[in-house]
Structures are given as C-alpha cells and as structure tokens.
Amino acid sequence: MQPISHQFNSNVRKALNDKELQKSLFSAKDGLVNNRLKAIKVVSDFEDLREQAKQLKNHTLTNLDSYLELFEKNFTAQGGQLHWARDARHAQEIIVGICHQHEAKTVVKGKSMAGEEIDINTALENAGIEPIETDLGEYIVQLAKEAPSHIIVPAVHKTRAQISQLFADNHKQYGCNEKLTEASDLVAEARKIMRAKFHAADVGITGANFLVAETGSSVIVTNEGNGDLCSTLPKVHIVTAGIEKVVPRLESVSLLMKLLPRSATGQEITAYTTLTTGPKRQNDTDGPEEMHIVLIDNGRTEILNSEISDILRCIRCGACLNHCPVYGNIGGHAYGWVYPGPMGAVLTTAILGLEEAGDLPNACTLNGRCASVCPVKIPLPDLLRSLRTRQFNKSSGSKITRTVFALWGQLSARPAIYHFASGLAIKFLGLLGTNKGSFKYLPFVGGWLMSRDFPVPEGETFHSQWNKQKGKHHG
Amino acid sequence: MSNSLNVGLYVTCLVDTMRPNVAFASVKLLESAGCNVTIPRAQTCCGQPGFNNGDIVTSRKLARQVIDEYETFDYLVAPSGSCLGMIKSHYPELFDNDPVYLAKAKQLSDKCYEIVSFLHDVLKVEIDHDFDASVTYHDSCSGLRELGVKSQPRELLKKVKKLQLVEMDNSEVCCGFGGSFCMKYPEISTSMVNDKLKCINETQAQIVLAGDLGCLMNIAGRAHRERLPIRCFHTVEVLANMADGPAIGEK
Amino acid sequence: MDKDQSSARDEILGRIRNSTRTEKNKSNIEDAQTSMKTMESATINFAAGPDKFIAKLNEVKATVSVISSRMELVREVHEYVARHQEKPTITLANEPELTSLDWSESSITTDYEPHSISVSVTSACYGIEETGTLILYSSPTSPTGMNFLPDYHIVTLDTSNIVVSMDDVWCGLRKNEQAIPRSINMITGPSKTADIEQDIQFGAHGPKFLHVILIQNT
C-alpha cells in the first residue's frame, strides 16, 4: 500500500470521528487483553519464557549471517529455491518473475505482513495477475479495497453488518444472491467461494512465522487452514519473509510457540501450525512442484546496524497493539502503513523514514504497557525515544516543540532566573484566575484547552512560599 | 537526632507551580515520620521533557544539576512517579561516556524514591486520621511500570479510617496526559481521558487519587469541561490529612 | 544462482556481517548453534495416560472416542460418520494399518480426490498432551490435502504415542533418523476464524469437524 503516514493528523481525525470504527475498537479491546491474561495465568513460568525468547532472538540476531547461510544450505538441499531481495521493488520483481515463468493467472495468498510491506498485490495486478486473499480478514479488507488495520486480525475495524454488505455486493458473480447476516453463514459462503479459487490457482503465496535454520523449514501459524491450502494445492509455492524470521532449531519454534498464540489471541496454540520443508517429494501425491522463499531485507540490515535493532526481535504477535491505548482509540489505518501500533510506530518509521512517518514515534505517551506485554521484551518506549532523538538531531519534526523545549531547557539550567520567572508567571495566572477554579481560555495552551479546563494555580509557587516560611531549612 | 534520615525533597516543576499543597503535604508526612527534610534551592526541571523529545544534551545538563544538588542526602524523594522514573531509570543512561557522572547517577538512582512507596516501604508510616469518602485510584504509568508502585498507595489508603477504596476497571491504562503528548496530539489525548473518565464514573467514587499531578490535572481538566462531579487530589494530600481544601481545578 | 541474485545475497550478508550487532568471532555455522542445543530434550517424554490429552481435545472442540484395539476402528468410523452424514464416501490414507482392516460394508476409497473429498481418515504419528495437538506427517500414502480439504477429518492415534510437549516431537523426529517429511501438520481442533467481530466460527477453510479415535493398545 502507498504510505499515508505523513497525513497522520488527518488520519487520526477521521478515525476518531468514525462511529463504526470506534464501536469495533471498543468491543475488541478488552476481549483481546483479557484472553491473553487468561492464557498466560496458566503458565507458571511465563516471565522466564519471555526472557528465554529474548535471549534466543538476541543470539540469532548476533549470528544472523550464519543462520541465514545454514537455512539456505538446508532448504536448498530439500529442493527449495532461495531468493535474496534487497528491497520491496526487488522482491516484487523476483515474485512476478516466478509467476510469469509459470504463466500464472491467479495467485492465492495466505496472510503475510511482509507481503503487504512489499506491496506484492499491486505488483501482481500491474503484471496482469490476480491476487486473491484467502485469510478471511484479509479477504474482507481486500473486498473493501482497504489495508489491514491490525497485524493479526486485519478486519477488526469492520462490523458484521459492514461485512454482510461487502459480501452481498461482491458475491453475486458467484451466484450468491442472498444477503447473509449471521457470522456462520458468512463464513460458510466465503469457504465455498474460496475453495474453488484454491483449486484453480497457479501460485500460492504465504508468509512465514519462522524459518528454521536447522532443517530449512518454513513455519506458518494459522487457524483457518487457508495458509496450508495455499502451500499445498497450487503448483508453485512462494514464501515472503523478512530476514529476521530465521530461528536456529526446532526447539526455537516450540519456545516461541508458547508465547506467540497466547500473546496474540489468548490461545494456547492455533488450530494449524505447519512446518513445510521444500517442495513435493518424489513419490508424494500432492504438494507444490516448486517451493521458493524470498528473503527480504528492505531496510532490516540497516536497522540491525542501528540503535533500534531490538525491534528485529518482533514475532508479530500484535500484543503491543492490543494493549496500546493510542492504537485502541485511533485504530490501525491512522498509522498510514502496514505496521501499526507500538511496533509499527518503530518499524514503519525505520523503514519509511522520518520524513514520511515522523508523527508515529511522537504519538505516544511512553506509558510502557506495550513493553510490559511484549513476549520478546522489546523496550518499545526506549526505541520510540531513540527515533525522537534521531528526529531532534536531524532538526526535523515540529519547530514549535523544539523552540519551546529549548527555551524551557535554558530557563531550567538557571535556577535563580527560573524561580523568579515562574514566580511571576504563577502570580500573574493566579491573579487572572481570581475567583475561578479553572481556566477555560488561555493563550499558548490551545491544545489542552480545546477539550479540558486548566486549573488556576495557587498564585505563589511552592519555593516562594517555602522561602518565606522556613528560611532555616533552606539548602 | 543523628538517626534521622536526611531527605532532599524533589518538588517537581508541576507541583511547585500548580499545586504547592502537594509539596507541603509531602513535607508534613516526611517530618512526622522523623525525617530531616530539605528543599534544595537550585532544583528546577528533571530534564524529562527534553529527554522524551530527543534533546539529550539539555537533558544531560539538567540531570547533572539534579545529581549535584542531591548528592549529599540520604534520599531524594519526589511526589511524582514520572520525575522519579526519569531520575532513577534514565539518568544513568545519559552518562555512558562520562564515568564520573555515571557513577553519581547510579548512586542517586539507588537512593531515590517516589514518595508513596518511600512512606510505605522505607518509613513504614502509620496513618491515624479519617477521610470519609469513596475514592478510586489511577495508576500513573511511570510509577507503575518504571518503579513498581502499585500496592503501596492502596495499602496506605486502606489505613485511612472511613475511606472506601473502590477499584476502577483499567486503572493501569494511560489517562492520555503523556507530558507533551497531550499538547501535540490533543484529540487522541482527549479520547484517552474520556475512556478513563468512563471507568471512573462506573465506580461512582467521589474522589480520584493518583501519584502524578500531570495525570490528575488531565483527568480533572476534562471532568470539569464535561461538568462531571469528579474531584481529584494527589495521594499524599489525603495521607497527610490535607485534602479538605479545594480539589485540583476547584476554587 | 544468477549474477543479480548472487550480488544481492553478498550485499545482504555483507551488511549483516559489518553491523555493530553481529558477533565477529564465530568460527563456523554449526558453532553458532552450540548454546542452543542445551534447550533440547534428550529423551522423549511420553504421557502417563490419555486422560489429559482427551480433556484438551474436548477443550479445543475436537471430538474423541477411545477404542481398545484397531479391530474396532471400522465400526467406530461408521458410527461417527452415520451420526453426521448420509452415505458419504470415506477416503482412507493409503496405509496398510488402515487399508488392511475389513471395510467391506462401506463406501471406501483410497483414491484421493481433492475436489470432492468430504470425509477422510488419516493417522497421526504423535499427540501432544499439553495442548491436545495431533502431529501428522505428509507421505506418498497420506497427502496433506486429506488434512485440510474434507468437511470431516478423522484421525487415528495410538495412545502410546501421546507425548508431553512439542519438544518431544522434535526429539522423536531426530531419534527416528527419518528425513524430515515435506510437511508436518500440527493440528489442534477444527478450522476456525474469529475475523467477524471476534465471534469464533468453525470450518473457515479447513475441516469443520475433527474426530480423534484413540487406540488404547493394552
């Protein structure tokens, strides 16, 4: 998708005024939080697991080149074809190239955030190939011609009524003329329509939750089964995965699987966790004849070499989104690109740059709830602060903010002047607010006063009162 | 007496300018527990606004000022989880390339406390007065997550006779203040404080307490604009029996 | 590998190697894994009995029946299918342990027909007690599609192959020294989705019903 992070403020306004979105966000929030809590309560060593996972990921990042080479060796030994993509455009070229080689007309897709990141759907469409999203949530947003708004539940912003209308509008071409309203009926209709598409597709594209170096296996973690159909029925299977998806051994998967589903949806494990190791074997009855994995850099190596490299530990569980009060109020689209919420505020900014996404690291209270639930202990507030420092050092970002804080800093470094000036200001405000408890109007604090009253100060600073009262204690 | 703890009170700029009563309540509580309380003259800002907005240089300058000013005390105590979090968790991060100040920052970090946790964990104060009201408590984010302040205010409030403590849903969710955030993104901030007020309303409590004035001004400010009968005080004002005057934003 | 691919590979690996975060002193690929081996199980921990596994299967909305010998399998499959469907064709995985049984009365096939398969019977290699998960390996006689395409998926498992955790499955895989199969499906309950207002619905794309027949060999 084309990024619109640069119009963050208008995205936010739109989101806050969208009654249906607000309704959906409100009803989804608590459920996702509570389901996770229930799921982790039964694991007595959950905190230990988080620490182990952090260490595992750190170890892998420190040895990323070795693990990628090992993965390559084992995957190719099983007949797989590995591709290295420098950036989104390169990944698009590789994938479209494979599709053209096979004269593909339709491609069925399992959910892949990396696929969204490289905007593969647009590239396929431009090449005359039809991409069909098969994950129900992704299918819904595809019909709505929208981007996903959450990395785990892409259509969380849609109500059942909206989905019912989308199906009614778009399924007539399949002979479905009844407008369905029950969730079970909607799912059954999608299943029927999608089944034909799975069988007809020339190529299947999925993401990968993990790439296991020890065996050359690609792992997907799903509930619907669509990912497995994408990677089994078509003649060609392509996997899109960031380079940081590699993990050392099979036991790495079991460790991360103790954390990922619990953190994401509150499940102990998903309905389907599948390890795929290469294409169809000689006597196999089914399976793709070719299996390709496209390893994507797209800025990750630059991130690895920076002060925000901890973000590469992310296992895309979405827990930070689910616990972020900012995300919970503005939804995913406001962030303007593929990755929303706290991890998105870091990753989107890191990949697209501060020019495009400069608001994202700033639209955060640094409350830390995200970091407290991250299964791999990414210090998200620290990373956002690092991006703000980058911004400050580049002299980009709001000039007003910079000026105000510079003045404040200068004043604070001169205590005598600070106390004198603040004393005067507070006296003035106190006088202005005589007989009032709060101000409704004041210059310079428009942002606050737009929706809040501002308390009238007592009229004398504490230091001034203390000086008068207790000279003998003053240090 | 030589066994008294020498406490340097870090007043914080918000308390100093907007609500000195919180500092007076802090002094009263500390002195009643036998501490020698000093208010160092040269304290201004802890450097957090600059730190959170990427101005590390200014932040470092202000941190040195605080470190120097509080070096000789047994403890630095502050009526704010936010400022204390800055001093405790982030000051050491500012001095990677300055071993002298790194050592000093670590020393200060070890002996600084948010006031309610100081009263509970170190001074083990007893409370001996009434406060007849239903009260709900908002967990300010820095205090909660950087300093682990959670049970201490609740346990101390339970000692106040006649006080009925009612827990709100989502007490740990950010109220939307976030320092400069509420000024830079006022619409999101308002949406967040609306959620907080909803949870407060559901408790039907008369009074909201918290350990950070920023949060309280935010909650009180929105409540007044919406004409909601919610009164906000800092926890220490209730603990010190100094909550009989106007609440935040009241005359 | 073509020239452009080779250079992309070199660039990416080169940038990784030069990054400040990367360990510079490692000697070879296998060494990087040494510390990871301490995480591994040396022995397979088999479950003490099937009860916890059965409880988990119920929790994840799979149905279960327990039989005391493979001889009862035919009757059990028929009874399950009769409760749910009118005279379907049952597709068996083409494995001797299934095909050697007396299916004479039924409409059975071992011809895998992906477009019309509605009931399948396959065998699991392991069950994981901790989560109620079935482990199925793809093979020439048991194509992956049999686990995903039908509406009803029936899985047989010997109770002696119920292990405690996922790590035990990896241990088993390594001990058996068989090549890792093309696909390992770890299946926990039927297909589901919560994409419509967080309301869980079954049969999203995979089977709507999962029935497990545990064979308790005494």
Mutation target to probe the B interface, by most B beta carbons within 10 A, among A33, A330, A367 is A367
- Complex-level ipTM: 0.96
Q: Which residues of C touch A286 (CB under 8 A)?
A: 112, 114, 138, 143-145
Distance of CA B157 to the CA centre of its chain: 15
Q: Which of C1, C13, C111, C193 to mutate to test the interface with A (most CBs of A within 10 A)?
A: C193
Which ranges of A292-368 does DSSP label H, i.e. alpha helix? Answer: 300-304, 319-323, 325-330, 341-352, 354-357
> Would you state the pLDDT for residue C176?
81
* Distance (Å) from the alpha carbon of A283 to chain C's nearest alpha carbon: 5
Sign of CA dihedral B14, B20, B21, B24: positive
Contacts of A32 in chain B (CB under 8 A): none
Chain A positions touching C193 (Cβ under 8 A) are 136-137, 187, 223-224
Do the Cβ atoms of B182 and A447 come within 8 Å? yes
Judged by a CB distance cut-off of 8 A, whether residue B160 touches chain A is no
Tell me: pLDDT of C33 over 70: no
pTM of the model: 0.95
Tell me the two tokens of residue A82: 């590995």
For every residue of B35-65, which 3-state class applies, written as one string?
CEEEECCCCCCCCHHHHHCCCHHHHHHHHHH
How close C68 comes to chain A (CA, Å)?
Answer: 27
pLDDT at C199: 87
Residue (of B23, B20, B67, B19) closest to B47 by Cα position = B67
Task: Decide: residue A165, CB within 10 A, 0-12 exposed, 13-18 middle, 19+ buried.
Answer: middle
Which residues from chain C sit within 8 angstroms of residue A275, using beta carbons? 180, 183-184, 186
Q: Do B251 and A451 touch (CB under 8 A)?
A: no
Rounded to whole angstroms, how far apart are CA atoms B54 and A378?
Answer: 20
Q: Across the interface, do B251 and A465 touch by the CB < 8 Å criterion?
A: no
Instruction: Give mean pLDDT, residues C123-135.
Output: 97
pLDDT tens column, B67-104? 999 999 999 999 999 999 999 999 999 999 999 999 99
Which residues of B are less than 8 Å from A466 in CB distance? 23, 39
Digitized pLDDT (tens) for each residue of chain A, 475 residues in all: 899 999 999 999 999 999 989 988 988 888 899 999 999 998 989 999 999 999 999 999 999 999 999 999 999 999 999 999 999 999 999 999 999 999 999 999 999 999 999 999 999 999 999 999 999 999 999 999 998 888 788 888 889 999 999 999 999 999 888 999 999 999 999 999 999 999 999 999 999 999 999 999 999 999 999 999 999 999 999 999 999 999 999 999 999 999 999 999 999 999 999 999 999 999 999 999 999 999 999 999 999 999 999 999 999 999 999 999 999 999 999 999 999 999 999 999 999 999 999 999 999 999 999 999 999 999 999 999 999 999 999 887 678 777 887 888 888 888 888 888 888 888 888 888 887 788 887 777 778 888 999 998 888 999 999 988 865 444 4
**C-alpha to C-alpha distances, C186 to A155, A215, A412, nearest whole angstrom:** 26, 17, 61
- Contact residues, chain A, for B62 at CB < 8 Å: 409, 412-413
Instruction: Measure CA A359 to chain center.
Output: 16
CB-based contact, B168 to chain A, within 8 Å: no
For chain C, the chains sharing at least 3 beta-carbon pairs closer than 8 angstroms are A
Whether B50 and A409 have beta carbons less than 8 Å apart is answered as yes
Query: In the structure, what pLDDT confidence band is assigned to residue C179 with cuts at 50, 70 and 90?
Result: confident
Q: Could C15 and A297 be called an inter-chain contact, meaning their C-beta atoms sit closer than 8 Å? A: yes
- CB of B96 within 8 Å of a chain A CB? The answer is no
3-state secondary structure of A239: strand
**Of B179, B182, B217, which has the smallest distance from its Cβ to A455's Cβ?**
B217
Pairing, β A210-212 against β A217-222: antiparallel
Number of CB pairs, chain A paired with chain B, less than 8 A apart: 216
Enumerate the residues of chain A whose CB falls inside 8 A of the CB of residue B54.
385, 388-393, 397
Chain A residues lying within 8 Å of B24, measured CB to CB: 462, 465
Q: Report CB contact under 8 Å: A281, C23.
A: no
Q: A239 exposed, middle or buried (CB, 10 Å; 0-12, 13-18, 19+)?
A: buried
Nearest neighbour of A389 by CB, restricted to B8, B54, B146: B54
A284, exposed or middle or buried, with CB in 10 Å at 0-12, 13-18, 19+?
buried
Contact call for residues C153 and A242 (beta carbons, < 8 A): no
